[in-house]
Structure 1
């Protein structure tokens, strides 16, 4: 097999830059509107008091909040970065799982998955910057004196979690998780490129060991990162299923991203050996894990609803009917776009083999799970003061940046690993 290299046209690069420019414009409009309190559902003071009361179930005590426009900026940056950072790591998870499983069919899209990890390092840097810049505006447990019994801001429940939620340990975990994801992504990518140049099965054998080690570490770090980066926003609440829930959202989004990239490359004249059978398998993964995400969503919701414990039910009360019903429509739309739509559209074999159907569903899944992270993060950080203009603008900026880095890495090596031991199996893959 001959190597096949992506030559990204200038028009595509301009389109990605246009995403960033459009996002910056939307962010600027949204920030100005928030600063002037135009179209806000709550006044800033009322929103802060409401948020503190919802968090503590009592008086509104705590540190002074930043202006609403700045709080929304912090929350939207955090939301989109957590979403894209998770998708980026899923690219490496996809490679590692198929490596240890000795899967041959996926070799045709392996380089796409490898390229997704290009966002891990910049995403990690952005995460650290936003975390330190935001203070307690994202994470209530960072309020000064909240774990000090002598402070008027003292919260006994949060103080009970001081062993886990302390600044040094939290930042160390963040750095370690991102470093693990980046290191193993780079290691698997390097082995793949060396295999292209030299050939043989030695690099494949090393990839199996590296992948196995990475999957063990990722299984732990992905759940803990979900607790740290998302669940600790609602500090009083916890769910033992939350790590699985966030992973399911990241994973199905990553599958949708890989599938969408493969289709666009195929339509641009690349990946000449990619056929309907490969698309069918990717479609089955997207279909199956949309159902898995729903299973975890329903299990978490049902157990909390059935127990009817106030300290657990408050999470869903805020999203289902709280803040004057601000999130109620999104609560149900989340289920429609992330479960009902992909389930109904992709039920048949033919639908999973048609590019147009797969493109529509994959795009819907990516938008839907971006909204899923919106639902996870906004009620706990902004209460009733969230919006969509700043948030969509931020999402477009991150999308443009992700695509620029991903396509740059994709163009640096052959789109198909020509010396991979299973490449012929992938070329002749049938389902």
Structure 2
């Protein structure tokens, strides 16, 4: 596992320069988002304010999930001692490094959303748990041991804090490895990754229950956590793949070839099927059992305004990747792979939209400037922070013990 000498023509000290069009575009998108969000929040129309809060939650959650997937990717590579991915590790590291910022933004959105009664009003409202109140809700009162404001906020802080610290440290250890060499940082990364995966595995379903499922507090599904995990993981893999393709197009990372992209494509293919399996199992069991308190969730999503999106969601996130990525030549074609990644990122935005909107926005159907503006703003923010982080270090982990294996990766 020692460091090999690299007899290649690759420039392992190359650094990404974040200037020009990429920087300008990310800042313009961010500015558009800030303006759209500000107009939405300051509107005198209650429905527009409600929609803006719902979109902030959607994009804040999506942003955090994608950064979290970067940390999860790193932890898996370390625990499985994978060599194939070591040449591309800087990309998920940049995403993982941005997670503390994403988590803070999401925490702010959930706190404001909780106390302004715009988001979590199904379980956090006056008199909901008081038997003497006209607003008393027996179902919510029954869940109040878990669904209460202090518990909710403590879990948000503890879970996202733990994910952020572990993800940030994994990136930090790798940057230190380039300075110090040897196996000290790698061994620390291995131990931390094992701990992180245990914390992550046990707590992400609960985090998804809190942040998204409690928007409709009467309903629950034990599969919801894994359904959210699958969406997070596929989205994160798509972002990693897309950034690699963009960097290669710009002339960087010559040591990454179609074999690496093929492996990423296979992961996207496999986990898109896993996402569909969980989505279908959750839907099928509830539809088949036909228990009123369970079907209420899907009943809302079968209203004429949502129903087309409900089915388009499955077509984009399952049918498209399966039909395209089943072909070996397509997976090894960076243009087709980039197309699938963009399609899936839009598809999982739609997935989160269908999870969040019916429970938070009473009188709104369809898409408009709030949805587009908020999404653009967060894409701009994510791009700016991640590419800025990427530009701070060499694009290759030159002293990674398995780098040689990545250079010779062939399938």
**TM range, normalised to the smaller chain?**
over 0.9
Match of 1:138 among 119, 133, 140: 119
Matches within 5 A, 1:305-384: 305-320=287-302, 322=303, 325-384=304-363
Q: Which residue of structure 2 lines up, in the alignment, with residue 281 of structure 1?
A: 263
CA contact (8 A) 2:62 2:349 kept: yes
The residue aligned with 2:142 is: 160
Match of 1:17 in 2: 27
When the two structures are aligned, how many residues end up with a matched partner?
Answer: 397
Question: CA shift at 1:405, angstroms?
Answer: 0.6
1:191/1:203 contact within 8 Å kept: yes
CA distance in 2, matches of 1:283, 1:111: 18
Match of 2:234 among 252, 260, 265: 252
User: For residues 108 and 393 of structure 1, what CA distance do their matches in structure 2 show?
Assistant: 35
Q: What are the residue-to-residue correspondences of 1:403-418 with 2, within 5 Å?
A: 403-418=383-398
| Aligned partner (choices 73, 92, 100) of residue 79 of structure 2 | 100
Residue aligned with 2:123, SS: helix
What's 1:123 paired with?
A: 102
Alignment correspondent of 1:7: 17
What is the SS of the residue equivalent to 2:89?
A: helix
Please identify runs of 4+ aligned residues in structure 1 that moved more than 6 A.
Answer: 28-32
Residue 176 (structure 2) aligns with? 194
CA contact (8 A) 1:417 1:423 kept: yes
| 2:193 counterpart of 1:214 | no
Q: Which runs of 5+ in 2 are unaligned?
A: 1-5, 7-11
Normalised to the residue count of structure 1, the TM-score between the two structures is: 0.89
Aligned residue number for residue 402 of structure 1: 382
Does the CA-based 8 Å contact 1:23-1:396 persist in structure 2?
Answer: yes
Q: Using the alignment, how far apart are the partners of 1:118 and 1:69 within structure 2?
A: 33
Distance (whole Å) between structure 1 residues aligned to residue 386 and residue 108 of structure 2: 22
Instruction: Report deviation, 1:24.
Output: 4.1
> Do the aligned partners of 1:84 and 1:119 also contact (CA within 8 Å) in 2?
no
Alpha-carbon deviation of 1:23? 3.1
Q: Secondary structure at the match of 1:132?
A: helix
SS across alignment from 1:274: coil
Q: Which runs of 5+ in 1 are unaligned?
A: 37-66
| In 1, Cα distance between equivalents of 2:106 and 2:239 | 22
SS in structure 2 opposite 1:93?
Answer: helix
Residue 220 of structure 1, CA deviation: 1.6
Structure 2 residue 65 is the aligned partner of structure 1 residue 86: yes
1:134-193 superposed Cα distances (whole Å, 9 cap, x missing partner): 332211211111111111111000000111011111100000011101110121111101
Q: 2:96, 2:171 within 8 Å by CA — same for their partners in 1?
A: no
Give the alignment's Cα RMSD to 1 decimal: 1.5
Shift of residue 35 of structure 1? Answer: 5.1
CA distance, structure 2, for counterparts of residue 390 and residue 279 of structure 1: 35
Show CA shifts across 1:279-298 (max 9, x none): 00000011111111001100
Q: Provide the rounded CA distance (Å) in 1 between the counterparts of 2:63 and 2:410.
A: 32
Inter-partner Cα distance in structure 1 for 2:50 and 2:153: 21
